[in-house]
Every structure is written in C-alpha cells, then in structure tokens.
Structure 1
Amino acid sequence: MTDWTSGYVADIGYTYGCYDLLNPLRVKLALLKVGVVLPQTGTACELGFGQGVSANVHAAASATQWYGTDFNPAQAGYAQELAACVEDGPQLFDQSFAEFCSRTDLPDFDFIGLHGIWSWISDENRAIIVDFVRRKLKVGGVMYVSYNTQPGFAAMVPMRNLMTQHAAMMSPPGAGVVARVESAMEFANKLIATNPLFSRINPQVTERLKVMKDQDRNYLAHEYFNRDWQPMSFSDMAGWLADAKMDFACSATYSELVHTLNVTPEQRAMLNEIPDTVLRESVYDFMINQMFRRDYWVKGKRRLQPMEYVEQVRELHVVLCEPASIFKPVINGALGEAQLNESIYLPIVDLMADHAVRTLGEIEQSLQSKGITLNQVHEACLLLVSKGAMAVAQSPAATALRRPHTDRLNQRLLRQARGGSEVTMLASPVTGSGVPVARIRQLFISAVIDGKESPQEWAQHAWHLIKSSQQNMSKQDGTPLSDEEQLLELNTQAIEFRDNRLALLRALGIV
C-alpha cells in the first residue's frame, strides 16, 4: 500500500498560523530596497498550506486569486470550509505535490509560496516543486521559501536523528505522536544531564532543547519528527533553484536588509569584497549562525533605474498597526538589541498614529521640514514592518472592495473563537493580510458587533462564552481563576481593549 503521508506527520494537525510572509503585497517593500523590478500580483499559489489560514486570509483581503494544496485531508477540509466563506475564494486541494503540480487546469502564477515545507520533504518532492516553479511561475514572478539552514542547525541534526530513532523504537505500541514526542524529549534531556562530550562541544544543542521544552508538542512533531528533515546551506538551495531559472533577490526577513543590525563593520567589509551572490550569502550565514532563512527569489531578476525606484517607493502605502503609545525605538538583530534613530522614527510614528493609510511619498512630504529623506523613510518603514508596528497597505479603493470579503471570513473565525483559541488572526482589507487578535479580544469584537457598548458588557459576553465552552482562565502558574477573578481579569482586559485596541482595529477594517 502506498504511504500517502510520504513520511510526514499526519495523525495530528498542524498549527493554525497565518504568515504575512506569504502575502505578495509585502514583497514590494523588500524588492524596492534592493532595486529589483516588482512582480504583478494577480495569481498566487501556496504549496503545503497547513490549515489554510494564510491562503484564506490573503484571498479574502486582496484581489489576488489563490490556489494551493496540502496533502492532509483533515487540514484541507478545514481550509476549504474557510474558503467557502469567501466569494470567488481560493481553490484549495488535498493533493500530494506530485498530483497538484501535474494538474493541467492551473494558471501561471505571479507568486509561489512555501512556508515551513522545504526542509521537511524528500528530495523527490523537492524536484517536483522545482519543476513546478520552472513551468508555472511567470517570468518576473517571485518565489518565497523558508527553510532550516546550516550552519545554525548543523549541530542539531544528530540530536534530532537520535530523538526520532527513540520515538520509533522505544515508544510503546499504539502510542500517539504527542506521547512519542514527549518520551523522546525526556530521553534527550536525560542524555544531556549525563554531560556528554557532544553537548560540551555543542552547547547550542542544550539551549535548543531548553527552548523545545516549552514549545507546543504538535509543532514539535511537525518540526522535528517527520521522516525527512534536512537543514540546507544557501549554496545547496541555490543549486536546487538554478534548474527553475531562479535568481536570489533578498531576504524576506526585513531586518536582514539593514546590515548594521546583523554584522560588524569588519564583517561588512569582508562581505563587500565577495562579488558572487551565493558565496556572499553563505558567508553571511556563518557570520550570524543562521538557523532559518526566509528568502525571495525571482525568475528573471531585473534592476530598476534610480528614477523608477523613487517613483515606485513613493507610491507604496503603509499603515501603523499597533498603538503609537507602546512603540519603543529599539529592534533586535543578530548583533543584539539596537537603538533606532529617534529623530527619524518618532516623527514617522507620530505622523502615522492616527492609523490612516499613507504613501511613503506622503510621509516624505510631511516630514521634509525635519530633514528626513525618502531613503530614510523607506528603511524606517522596513524596520517598523519587521517589528510588527507597521504593515504594507492597499489603496483605499482596494480596501473598500475587499471589506465585504474580509467581513464574511472574520465572522466565521469569530464564531470559532467562541469555543477555542486556535486562530489568533483576523483578516484586514487594509493590509491585505492578517492582524494578530488573541481569542479574548476576538470575543470582545463579537460583543461590539452585537451592539454591546461598554467594557463591562464585553467582559460579561466573553465570560459567558468561556463558561459555555467549559473552559477556565488561569494564572501564569496554571492555577485556574475563580469566576470572580475571571470577571475581574476580563473587565481589566476589556478596558485596555477600549483604550488601546478598538480604534486601531476599526482603522484596519476588522471592526
């Protein structure tokens, strides 16, 4: 009998994440930073969409027509249920990569995305995907791919292999995946406690196991316990994609586009001496001990003329997507925490504090008197997006067209929030993507939509739904709160929601 899972964990579902990195609209800010001609954004495809939250949110929130596949029928079924909420919604299938990529009824694509797939599949499936990209990605189109990377993960490979060996050989018959993961984790920590020479030479393995201890077991099962798991060097990745005629454009991790955050002056000087892109990126990964790359690749990369750059940067729309009151002018890079230039960032945040959509050209014009240049605005917006404080936005006309679609999808997600906290994103017609909204805040939004006006009413609404689902809120140590304590906590959160979040969510088209 054929193993339809191809060695991938299939008896527990993947997490319900929504990843802005899969939003084609987000590509523009990065590609303009490196001076590359922008792609069109009419058609997009996600290979291995998991629960399909990203594909559905991006399909509802933008005019891009989405397609995709995930081999797991339970995940595909949930994704298709969400897609039914979106008029002309995404076309999502439960086919293997081989089946989906050989379909003859698919359009050519402007954007193909793979998030958390490449490192966890076989070479056979990688070859299928590369061939698909070669045939179906349009000239000028963009591929987004993320993958575990050497050298950062090199030391973890033998430990991971040992853990999967334990899970396969030492678990009792009939043990579920989560139980096997838990047992393998206990085994690995017991081994480390004996102070083996391996962990003394590779102390990062001990640190990685400490991080894993607190991570969701479903996530760990998919991350480390599939049959295939191969952290890959950048040069190997470039070798794979060469057959699809792909050129590396830039990192999709915006903070990596500002080298002062990640490498020392001496390291930058060395990188500048390396003319070959593949070697330069490989050396960069050694400099920062790269563990996970997120990259944009282009089929037929072309350079913008300086005037084209200026014109297109000025046309980009952005919006502040967190309260200006909580903004801190710091950012983390590979070198640690860095202070942002307050004379540039604070005026931009103050200007955008009303959460109105503006173009970078409008920001430039408004701040000319402060001596802030267009290049500074562009880099500041890159890093504000990287921090999660800002998002690339659509035009007001596009936002108005997408609002009915995001409303319908959000109504479905808000109904789901009554019984659980799986999905912590709602679709924004402003950003063309998802906005993080935790379950309690989703319950408050439901109360607002139902016409309830005060924080006390929102708290009562949320408490009723939590009790109806036979759940309880807990303290940080896991101790359940009493009913009185729950109501008090919900009232506190509802007041914070009114004071700091409601206006923002209205501006983003979610309420």
Structure 2
Amino acid sequence: MSSWSEGYVSDINYTFGYYSELNPNNAVIPFLMAGLAPPESILTAQYNACELGFGQGVSLNAHATASYAKWYATDFNPSHANFARHLSHIANNGALIADQSFNEFCQRDDLPEFDFIGLHGIWSWISDENRTILVDFIHRKLKVGGVLYISYNTLPGWSAPSPLRHLLREHHNTMTSTANSHQQNIRDSVEFVEKVFAQSASLTQSAPQLLPRLQNLKDRDLNYVAHEYLSKDWQPMYFADMQKWLESAKLTFACSSNYLDDFNETLYNQEQRELMASFSNPSFAQTVKDFILNKQFRKDFWVKGARHLTPYEKSEAWKKLRVLLHTPRLKIEMKASSHLNVGLNEALFNPVLDILQDHKIHSVKDIVETLKDRFNEIDIFNVLAILAGKNNLAVVQSEQAIEQARPRCAAFNRYILEQSRSSVFSINYLVSPITGGAYHFDLVQRWFLLAHIEGVAKNKQVDFAWELLKTNGLFMSKEGRTLHDDNEGKAMMKDLHKAFVEEQLLYLKCLAIL
C-alpha cells in the first residue's frame, strides 16, 4: 500500500463493476413508495451529482453519460482516475474527475451544491477521520431536499463472519512474500485460512456461515478480495450508529434503494410482520429489521429535509412519471424475491403488463386512466414499484435529457463494443439514454451487437463472433462444460444468436442502446 492511500488497498486496482443504486433516477420510485418527495430536479431539469470513491469509474461515467446530471467525483487512486477520465473523454460527458483524497476534494472551492451524493462500498473501509470529513462535506454541500445514497457492511450480519476477515488480513500482513505477486499472496492467505478453519471445529460449528463464505471467497475476483478484506480500516456498523453519524449532517433515513428491500411480503413471515408493525419509532424498526434478517449489507437512501407527501401529492407525483418495461413479457416471473419468495397476483399484474408489453414509453397517468374501471390507482402504483424492484421496469427521463444523452451514449457504447474485441476488456455494460442507467451484456452478446452495428449480414453474424472467439483463444461452454469440439461450440453459438435476434434486439432498441 502507498503512503497516500491511508491504509486502503491502492496497489491492486478495483473491479469494473456497475452499481445501479448510484443512478439518481432509481431513487424516485422507492421515495414515492415511502411517501416522500424525491428531488424535483432529478426528472425535470439539469442537476448536480457527486460520487465519492468511484473505483474504476464505470458507474460514474455511465451516469454522467446517460443522465441529465453534471457529475463531480474523486478517487485517490490515480490509476482509477486516469481510466475514468479516459472514459469521460470518450463519451464527452463533462464530468469533473479528481484523484484527490476526501480531505483535499471536500475542501475545493469550485464545487456546487448537490442534489445527489453517492458513496458505494466506501464507508466501511475508511477511518473515522475520513468519515468526519465526508459527513461535514455532506452537511455543507447536499442541498435541502437532496438525496444521499450510502452502502455499508452491517451488524449484526457481519458478527459471525468477521473472524475470516481478521485472519485473512493478519496472514496477509505478516506472512506474505515480496517474491510473490500480489495475487499469489492473496491466494496463499485464502489457502491458509482454509487450513486453519479445517482445524477449528469449535469455531466453524458455532459460526456455520464461515465455511460457505470462505468457499465463496475462493471463487471471487482477487482484486475484489483485496479491496473488501485487506484494507487497514474496516468497521461494520449498526443502523443506529450510522444514524448518529448522519444526523449531524441533518439527514434522516428515507428508504432502501430497492423497494423490495422495504416490501414486507418479501421480507417477513406473518409473526415477523406483526412484530414490525408494533413499532412506532421508524429508526428503531430499522434496527430490529437488521436483527430479524441478519443483514450484512445495507444500501440506503437518506435525505436532507424529508418532505412527506399527502395521498393526493403522492398520486400526482406518480402520474407525472413515464415508465418503460424493458424485460420481455415471457421472461417476467410472477414472483418477487428479497429474503422471501412470494407469488404475485396475476389478475392484477397481467392487465398492467398487457399495456406495457409493447416496450414503449408509457405515462403512468395513462395506465391509471386505462385501468380505472378495474383497479384503484394504489394497486397500479404497487405493481409498477414491484416491477421496478424486480428490474423489469425503469423510470424514463425527460425528452430533453434523452436527446442530450443520445450522442454521448452512442459514443460510449461504440467504444465498449470495439474494445470487446479483446476478451481481457473488463466492462460488460452499455448505457441507455432512456433510463440514464447501464445494463449488463455478456461477451458473446456484445460481439453479436458489434456485428449488427457494423452492418454484418444476419446470416454472417455467428461467423463474425466465432472468429473473435477463436482469435481470443476461447471456447463456448454449456452447463459448466467447456465445448472443445468446434461443431458443438458453433451450434451453441447459433442458439445464442437466435435468442439475441428474437429477444435482445428488442431490449436494445427499447432502451435506445441500439
């Protein structure tokens, strides 16, 4: 680790993940379902947003490219900042990207007030000194009515598995060899922990989560292991402790970032629901929730100056929204899942899906009007919220935002597709000007799309992708089995192409990715 990293892993770059919770548009439905007013500017006008600790900057650039916001961000790793600036230049998205520490960045005098500030996977891995800096920044720079997204490792869920992290880090700090690569040292530490646990029956029997977690760790990206487990500072936190930190910035808890994490039917059995309903203090209810569910990670929205909506205001706010069903109708399961799986009322969901299944943009007001003789509007709002929580449906941006984002999204997506000619390129996401977010596409799907936009005839697109597969020295796989036989592999690729043409092209077009 470098001296400037303050104990955080800096000599191994972070993974190239995308986190949809950092898309401000995705706060709208959870806020409405909580009866709170989301920031009006998010869907109606240009606004300012900030990400603190952006990693490789995939989420940052996806949202700066596809949304109506002007983004500001910092990550003290210069390699991360350099790559993020490269993506920003490709898309010409105008993001201000710094490689400063939180202390340096938060003291800048050229930063505006923000409607949205996001911290994903940062809070648990920094010192109390840096937490104090961030809380002061949020206090000064988040607008009244503005939203904070923050995720963090949570207690009591982390109580049982925390010994794994401690032993892994202690071995890595005291027993690693300078002659080995960083990756090999991490492997050695994981293998050492496995050996110790094999001799620790009393520990693993009293904490049965440890062995499955260790097995999961063995299958994870080594860069992820380094950043999640090897930093000097690490503090999982009870909800009440997080509340104490953020109260000083005048923030109150708003809701989970995904509505299904607040939807009682997917969280609790009947006895648990009755217990949760007995609390009049919403903050204490969050603490009890974490104990009942043994939460290990929270992803939450907080707000500066919560404004509670009247039933009329909530109805009108819903009706102003436009939504898009971006999942093929046949792919939508009539169940919702969080901690529990529950069946959905098909008699209620199917009429709404009948309207949305054309994958065009629909006004919520029009949906309510069409179905007013059959369902009350609250039921329709619930259906839309659950579909959004299942990642089948998204809120649509304003027409001005869409048109502004189109050329930037086209440039960003073309770059991702071109770079995907090499299998070592690590970004698996394309951005949509319709929703302001990004969507995952695997390597073969990206090859098919590249062939499509380059004008390769449909009957030649499998050959195009097959050539790239061979150039990269790869093989197709099916049900975990590598297909070394070319005939079998190409047949598999033809099946994937058929699904791409019949399903993915529609998905790409409705999101204006294509």
Tell me the TM-score range normalised by the shorter chain. over 0.9
What displacement does 1:135 show? 0.7
The alignment status of 1:437 with 2:441, answered yes or no, reads yes
Which residue number in structure 2 is paired with residue 428 of structure 1? 432
| Residue of structure 2 aligned with 1:173, choices 169, 174, 178 | 178
Which residue number in structure 2 is paired with residue 81 of structure 1? 86
Which residue number in structure 2 is paired with residue 159 of structure 1? 164
Which residue number in structure 1 is paired with residue 343 of structure 2? 339
What displacement does 1:349 show? 2.3
Q: Is the 8 A contact 1:73 1:94 kept in 2?
A: yes
CA distance, structure 2, for counterparts of residue 159 and residue 504 of structure 1: 41
The alignment status of 1:457 with 2:466, answered yes or no, reads no
Aligned positions of 1:332-371 closer than 5 A:
332-334=337-339, 336-369=340-373, 371=374
| Structure 2 unpaired stretches of 5+ | none
What displacement does 1:477 show? 4.4
CA distance, structure 1, for counterparts of residue 178 and residue 91 of structure 2: 43
| Structure 1 unpaired stretches of 5+ | none
The alignment status of 1:298 with 2:298, answered yes or no, reads no
Which residue number in structure 2 is paired with residue 221 of structure 1? 226
Give the 3 Å change call, closer, same or farther, for CA 343–475 of structure 1 in structure 2: closer
| Residue of structure 2 aligned with 1:54, choices 54, 59, 84 | 59
**Secondary structure, counterpart of 2:494 in structure 1:** helix
**Quick one: which amino acid aligns to residue 509 of structure 1?**
A
Give the 3 Å change call, closer, same or farther, for CA 237–159 of structure 1 in structure 2: same
What displacement does 1:404 show? 1.2
**Quick one: which amino acid aligns to residue 79 of structure 1?**
A
**Quick one: which amino acid aligns to residue 356 of structure 2?**
M
CA distance, structure 2, for counterparts of residue 493 and residue 267 of structure 1: 44
**Quick one: which amino acid aligns to residue 345 of structure 1?**
F
Report how many aligned residue pairs link the two structures.
508
CA distance, structure 1, for counterparts of residue 316 and residue 231 of structure 2: 47
CA distance, structure 1, for counterparts of residue 292 and residue 482 of structure 2: 44
CA distance, structure 1, for counterparts of residue 196 and residue 483 of structure 2: 34
| Residue of structure 1 aligned with 2:416, choices 401, 413, 416 | 413
Which residue number in structure 2 is paired with residue 287 of structure 1? 292
Deviation per CA, 1:80-103, whole angstroms, max 9, x where unpaired?
011012334211111111111111
| Residue of structure 1 aligned with 2:138, choices 133, 137, 141 | 133
**Secondary structure, counterpart of 2:303 in structure 1:** strand
CA distance, structure 2, for counterparts of residue 2 and residue 213 of structure 1: 26
| Residue of structure 2 aligned with 1:263, choices 254, 264, 268 | 268
Which residue number in structure 2 is paired with residue 67 of structure 1? 72
Give the 3 Å change call, closer, same or farther, for CA 378–78 of structure 1 in structure 2: same
Q: Is the 8 A contact 1:360 1:374 kept in 2?
A: no
CA distance, structure 1, for counterparts of residue 287 and residue 193 of structure 2: 30
**Secondary structure, counterpart of 1:146 in structure 2:** strand
**Quick one: which amino acid aligns to residue 243 of structure 1?**
S
User: Which stretch has the larger CA shift, 172-181 or 6-15?
Assistant: 172-181
What displacement does 1:480 show? 5.7
Which residue number in structure 2 is paired with residue 487 of structure 1? 490
CA distance, structure 1, for counterparts of residue 388 and residue 186 of structure 2: 35
Deviation per CA, 1:338-365, whole angstroms, max 9, x where unpaired?
1111112222223211111112222222
Which residue number in structure 1 is paired with residue 38 of structure 2? 38
Which residue number in structure 2 is paired with residue 149 of structure 1? 154
Which residue number in structure 2 is paired with residue 254 of structure 1? 259
CA distance, structure 2, for counterparts of residue 154 and residue 377 of structure 1: 40
| Residue of structure 2 aligned with 1:378, choices 371, 378, 381 | 381
CA distance, structure 2, for counterparts of residue 186 and residue 159 of structure 1: 12
Q: Is the 8 A contact 1:463 1:486 kept in 2?
A: no
Q: So what's the TM-score if we normalise by structure 2?
A: 0.95
**Secondary structure, counterpart of 1:56 in structure 2:** helix
The alignment status of 1:27 with 2:27, answered yes or no, reads yes
Q: Is the 8 A contact 1:419 1:466 kept in 2?
A: no
Report % sequence identity: 40
The alignment status of 1:503 with 2:514, answered yes or no, reads no
Give the 3 Å change call, closer, same or farther, for CA 478–4 of structure 1 in structure 2: farther
Q: Is the 8 A contact 2:476 2:492 kept in 1?
A: no
What displacement does 1:62 show? 1.5
CA distance, structure 2, for counterparts of residue 396 and residue 123 of structure 1: 43
Q: Is the 8 A contact 2:476 2:493 kept in 1?
A: no
CA distance, structure 2, for counterparts of residue 177 and residue 375 of structure 1: 54
